[in-house]
Amino acid sequence: MTSLRKAGWFVVLALAMAGWMGVLGSLRGVAEAGVIASHLAEAGAHSEDLAKVQSFLENKIVAQKLVDYGMSPEEANAKAQAMSAQDLHRLASLTDRVAAGTDSGIGILIGIAILIILIIVILRLEHKEVVVR
């Protein structure tokens, strides 16, 4: 009984850490790095960048988000056409990084599996038997 009382703080701390790691593991975070061009490569890049931005704005998910934020797709196209070549190139390069779909949820499944394994390890450390039928 005294060993259980002494280990009580450890169990509480381990469960708190497991819960916190589960929360952090379920959040999607992407770290990317890359080289940004200091100047435009060619003069024809402006029309290519404009076409890329306009095709991105025509995506129905993007159009819906624009409407949600209070801007019509026509306004967004007009602002894209009024942008400088450097800003337009920067925006066009950012559209390449946008994910086409949503997260598959595999991170959440991995987090749940790690949480279950951690609970089993904690129970084993307390010399309790885990029976799965």
The pLDDT tens digits of the residues spanning 37-80 come to 666 555 677 788 888 888 888 888 888 888 888 888 888 888 88
- Enumerate the domain spans of the chain: 2-28+43-99+114-125
The pLDDT tens digits of the residues spanning 3-48 come to 556 667 788 888 899 988 888 877 776 677 777 766 655 567 778 8
**Among residues 100, 57, 101, which one has the least CA distance to residue 79?**
57
Q: Are 39 and 90 in contact (CB under 8 A)?
A: no
What pLDDT, on the 0 to 100 scale, is given for residue 98? 65
Q: Which residues lie below 8 Å from residue 85, measured CB to CB, with a gap of 6+? A: 40, 45, 46, 49
- Residue 69 has what DSSP assignment? T
Tokens linked to 71: 């801007």
Please provide the average confidence, as pLDDT, over all residues in the chain: 77
